[in-house]
Chain A
Amino acid sequence: MSTLTDPTSTGASPGPAAPTGEVVTLVSRKTPVVLGVLTVGLALILLFQPESGETTLRLARETDFFQLPDLTLPTMPTAWALTIVCALLTGESVRRYLAKKRTPMWLVAIYAIAWMTGFLVWAAVGETLPVVGLLAGSLALAVPLVFGALGGVLGERAGVVNIAIDGQLLFGAFAAAVVSSMTGSPWPGLLAASIAGALVALILGLFAISYFVDQIIVGVVLNVLVIGITSFLFSQVLAPNAADLNTSARFKVVPIPVLGDIPLIGPILFRQTPVVYVLYIAVAVVTFALYRTRWGLRVRAVGEHPMAADTVGIKVNRTRYRTILIAGAVAGLGGAFYTLVSVPQFNREMTGGAGYIALAAVIFGKWDPIRATLAALLFGFASNLQGVLSVIGSPVPSQFMLMLPYVVTIFAVAGLVGRSRPPAADGVPYRPQ
């Protein structure tokens, strides 16, 4: 399928073509350029919209074991200091480019944190920025996105484009709500969500693997189908019997004994609902399984070159079925977040297109579970920023703050990530000879 496959080169490929017989490492100049543009942008904001005052960063919540004192910073000096940090990091990136070295991931990460902090310190002038609440909330909001992205990575690594992530999330949410309402406990709901996700994946597999239907078509249509079925059943069955079928038991926050008491990190990472802890396990297991086990090697082989995999005796389509069923189960777990953590009932179209954001995270993360997770966390941060900014107010219209993460993503995809290369056989059905 050509729609998801980038050609290997276009007229605008960066750098000169490598002369034959000579090894030349091509380093993209996009990263330093984008970092530079962002630094200048931040500096311009500070120049033309200076704010006098102080910004308070709240580093602990009342319930925390260690009460870190609030950090009160003079707004403009802090923002300028962070801008200088950004400029230095940009300089380092340029230096590496000139030395024909790549800009490492950690540099971009530190840059992103410095830039965002500088911007927020400026935006929240005269107010208190609840750092812990912001980050902990971001993590919670990112849960369905991370599960969805993991499901997407798994499927696509095996060569099946999974656009049906949104459907898997939504059906997972539906099943979780119904089962946990009937049993009165969230755990069976979580299991049901996982099964529901796998069910959607099974239909995807049936059409995409067995009947060679274009996987993008199946994915998009499955999303619509799940919206239709869940909305129909919601108004016909759930709404009239809400007390029995649509009052789910929610997960409670369970602090992990010692880890949860670490200042700053503890309340963010280890005072969450069990779903978040399942998420940690899922990220670790998926990453390990994909890169360090024989099963993972086979999955990747099937996704890159199914015919070669077939030649050495790997059952291509059976491997693909198995992988997307697991992928669907993982994505379905994410759906449980909506009805077992977020709100105690199912509502029509309650995922709000989160599956498509998860899909973007998959591509943003270059089909790698860790990077896709980070991308999903970024989106979670973006959606949580919305609530925080509406509370503290900011000098720029809130709509522009809200669109910022999406603009940054476009920048990142065009500049930092550049040409992302999907698994070679992604979206191509395999017909055994």
Chain B
Amino acid sequence: MNDAVTNDQAPAPSEKDADKPDAPEPGKGHSVMRQIVAGDVFAGVLAVVLAVLVGSIMVAATDDAVRESAGYLFARPGDFLSAVWDAVWGAYTALFRGAVYNNLVSDFSTQIRPLTETLKFAAPLIVAGLGVGLGFRAGLFNIGGRGQMLLAGGAAGYVGFNFDLPTFIHLPLAILVGMVVGALWAGIAGLLKARTGAHEVIVTIMLNYVAYYLLFYALSKEGLLQAPGSANPKSLPMKESAVLPDILGDRFNLHLGFVLALVAVAYVWWLLNRSALGYRIRAVGENPNAARSAGIDVGRTWVTVMLLAGALVGLAGVNQVLGTVPDGVTLDLDASIGFDAITVALLGRSRPLGILAAGLLFGAFKAGGFSMQAAEGIPVDIVLVVQSLIVLFIAAPPLVRAIFRLPAKEAK
């Protein structure tokens, strides 16, 4: 059998196979199996399994019933095992009910409501992940998602509650203004890097703080963002004409933002894989010096990438202000999506479709995490643990292989 396994380099039947033509080709079958086993998809699934396993251990170890039964573990091990099972099974079914399908209720629309919640949570993660991932492809690390979201959301909110316009002008205008502000804010980091060599990691971190205080100032000043007569740093709610409409009717919270996210995925895919700019972006990301030798204006590419990334991350902020939480701009409108986007981009390996999948997964975790906390009393933070473990394990295929004793992936 080992012969067959190592045989996958030669798809043509060898002389040994030729004398029994009716037999199935073990070499080919094995090579497919081997590709699956050694391929990224399988390692990814195993990474998820491993992360869920670690999460289960944490849930079980901190469960009261489990700890109680562990006290008489050797007297009645069955109690202990069933307590562990109850804790873990309860946690994950609650997660599933909150994220995909709720089997405890009878009418259909309530049953599938969790799925729409997942999509709602996924939308900003996807667009912001695209922004961060685009930066990664050009070799830029954009930690400034928070600042870009805050200012984009603030600007879109200003347009959203301040003007009286028909929907078909108001909504696109608010979205556009938000994206432009996000783009310009991120563009500062790109421009400084291109012109002075200032490190984009520092600049984007600093811009996060500056953006926070700018928004804070705007929210504490009437005439800018603060609602009149209010002492809280909060704006007026959005006008109806600027709110992203619900796409599945009033019964669900899913709004147009998810469609925008899908459009963004398609656009970034086209940009990276089919356009000349995308080629330049990838070339700069692979090796800026080589790209410069090939005549690519590296600095200009950096600025362009940061502008695009800022627009995408800004769209995530717009999505929050005009869609998910339309009752007013606040200082925590980013809901830590700016940082989550980094993990999403990493898990999606900075590929648009990968980011789509990663965003959906993390959206499901977000939606399910809250219902798990409500139903089982398990802190929602366990979701963070499982998410980060998934990324770690996926990033280290050799480790996953070593744990499961899989064959090593062949060098190409």
The chain A residues found within 8 Å of chain B, CB to CB, are 2-4, 6-8, 10-12, 30, 207, 211-214, 216-218, 220-222, 224-225, 227-229, 231-233, 235-237, 348, 356-357, 359-360, 363-364, 397, 399-400, 402-403, 406-407, 409-410, 413-415, 417-420
Q: Which residues of B contact A410 (CB under 8 A)?
A: 192, 198, 202-203, 206-207, 210
Query: Given that A221-B388, A233-B62 are known contacts, is A363 also in contact with B342, CB under 8 Å in the complex?
Result: no
Can you name 7 A-B residue pairings with CB atoms under 8 Å? A228-B382, A228-B384, A360-B205, A363-B199, A406-B207, A410-B206, A410-B207
Whether B58 is near chain A, meaning CB under 8 Å from some CB there, is yes
10 closest A-B pairs (Cβ-Cβ)? A228-B384, A419-B197, A228-B385, A231-B381, A399-B217, A403-B213, A225-B388, A236-B62, A2-B139, A235-B379
Evaluate contact between A222 and B388: CB separation under 8 angstroms.
Answer: yes
Is B297 in the interface zone, CB < 8 Å from A? yes
Q: Are A6 and B197 in contact (CB under 8 A)?
A: yes
Q: CA–CA, A228 to B339, complex, Å?
A: 14
Give me 18 other A-B pairs in contact (C-beta within 8 A), A410-B198, A417-B198 excluded.
A2-B139, A2-B286, A6-B197, A7-B298, A12-B299, A207-B392, A207-B399, A211-B399, A217-B346, A220-B343, A221-B388, A224-B387, A228-B383, A397-B217, A397-B220, A399-B216, A399-B217, A409-B206
State the CA gap A149–B296 with chains docked (Å). Answer: 36
A220-B343, A399-B220, A407-B210 given as contacts; is B202 within 8 A of A363 (CB)?
Answer: yes
**Which residues of chain A have C-beta atoms less than 8 A from B378's C-beta?**
236
Do A221 and B346 touch across chains, with their CB atoms under 8 A apart? yes
Known contacts A30-B196, A224-B384, A237-B62: A400-B217 contact under CB 8 Å: yes
Q: How far is the CA of A3 from the CA of B135 in the complex (A)?
A: 9
Q: Is B81 an interface residue (CB 8 A)?
A: no
- Minimum CB–CB distance for A35 against chain B, Å: 16
B289 to chain A: which residues have CB within 8 Å?
7-8
Specify which of A211, A225, A359 is in contact with B205 (CB 8 Å cutoff): A359
How far apart are A308's CB and chain B's nearest CB, in angstroms?
A: 21
B118 → A minimal CB distance (Å): 20
Give bound CA distance, A244 to B219, whole Å: 42
Report A219 CB to chain B, min CB distance, Å: 10
Query: CA–CA, A227 to B198, complex, Å?
Result: 29
| Minimum distance in angstroms from A14 CB to a CB of chain B | 9
The residue among B194, B195, B342, B385 with the most chain A CB atoms within 10 A of its own CB is B385
Given A10-B194, A360-B202, A414-B192, decide whether A348 and B381 contact each other with a Cβ distance below 8 A: yes
- Rounded to whole Å, the gap between the CB of A203 and the closest CB of chain B is 8
Residues of A within 8 A of B245 (CB): none
B76 within 8 A of A: no
Counting chain A CB atoms within 10 Å of each CB, the highest count among B203, B287, B392 belongs to B392
CB of A264, distance to nearest CB on chain B (Å)? 31
Q: Given A12-B194, A363-B202, are A221 and B209 also a contact pair (CB < 8 Å)? A: no
